Copies of this chain bind each other. A is one copy, B any other.
């Protein structure tokens, strides 16, 4: 047996995963040692991250945190990758619905399917939670977890994100990958805490972010154990089990991790409680929000600070007030990020 203390970090390395080739883990260069966040412009946002890591990891610091307690949580849509013009998982659901419609001629007359099939964006922007649940039930349930993973995997290899005409996983933010990597190299465990589907995100979280399945906390539908065919399967049911959004993010963090994060990153109103929950702990705590104010390189939306209201991943005025009041740090994509996507040179 090799040195067992290296096993768990080695475990995080999957050969050929994008984050691994972007960051050769055991080949840290001097440049990296000097600047672990090269895609960040110098400024208060970058500074606060560097200070936080110093405060929590230097043994002599009064705010030192034991490695076992070093937990950092990241919202996904809009925080780790692009969420416009619609969440990636919604795109998956809508495209799958389009394909399934061939076997469901009745959907042409039946809401919410009709609006989806006719691409009635105005109607879709007004969908209720129950409408979305009908779409999720049709596209995400009635199959085993393994079959669902296969569907998502296949879709990700062929689907292209609008505007960029690239695979969705190309739209992961390089500066956030650097933060995740820097935190992990500093002994933190990085968790994704997403309103999106836990099983959906698990399909690409390791390759995309270096986050293993057990560190993905997300929304889920119920599953049912079925061992009637000789090989047990978990069948996905058309029934909400857990919504990991808003207050659900604090609940999910406690349920799945059982430890309070020291750092939390979000970008929209649904992340407020995760940041509140993080801040309520003692010692050094880092709360950050990504503001999409870069229409040229990505998207610009708020409605905070007068940016357009896209109704997807909204950064509300009240979230901005709460951030200001609590000294949460707002990351300006336009000013704080030198480079947004890994594919940019």
Chain A interfacial positions (CB closer than 8 Å to B): 1, 4-12, 14, 57, 66-68, 70, 145, 184-187, 189, 198-199, 202, 212-214, 216, 220, 223-225, 227, 231-232, 234, 247-248, 250-251, 254-259, 273, 276-277, 280
Contacts and interface: CB of A to CB of B under 8 A. Distances in A.
Contact of A68 (B4, B212, B273): B212
B9 A223 contact: no
A10 B273 contact: no
A78 to B, nearest CB: 21
A6 B6 CA distance: 6
B67 A8 contact: yes
B213 A258 contact: yes
Contacts of A277: 225, 232
Contact of A258 (B214, B225, B254): B214
A252 to B, nearest CB: 10
A4 B187 contact: yes
Contacts of A66: 11
A214 B9 contact: no
Contacts of A202: 258
Contact of A255 (B6, B186, B187, B220): B220
Nearest to A191: B214
Given A8-B9, A216-B258, A258-B202, A280 B231 contact: yes
A70 to B, nearest CB: 8
Contacts of A232: 250, 273, 276-277, 280
Contact of A214 (B234, B248, B250, B259): B259
B273 A247 contact: no
B231 A12 contact: no
Interface majority SS (helix, strand, loop, mixed), chain A:
helix
5 contacts: A7-B187, A11-B70, A14-B68, A214-B258, A223-B255
Contact of A251 (B8, B70, B225, B256): B225
A253 to B, nearest CB: 9
Contact of A254 (B1, B223, B251): B223
Nearest to A12: B68
B225 A250 contact: yes
Nearest to A251: B223
B1 A186 contact: yes
Contacts of A214: 256-259
B6 A225 contact: no
The 3 closest A-B pairs by CB, nearest first: A213-B258, A225-B247, A11-B68
B273 A67 contact: no
Contacts of A234: 250-251, 254
A57 B1 CA distance: 7
Given A6-B6, A7-B70, A202-B258, 8 more contacts: A1-B187, A7-B9, A11-B66, A11-B68, A223-B254, A225-B247, A232-B280, A256-B256
Contacts of A198: 255, 258
Q: Which of A248, A250, A255 has the most CB of B within 10 A?
A: A255
Q: Which of A7, A187, A212, A216 has the most CB of B within 10 A?
A: A7
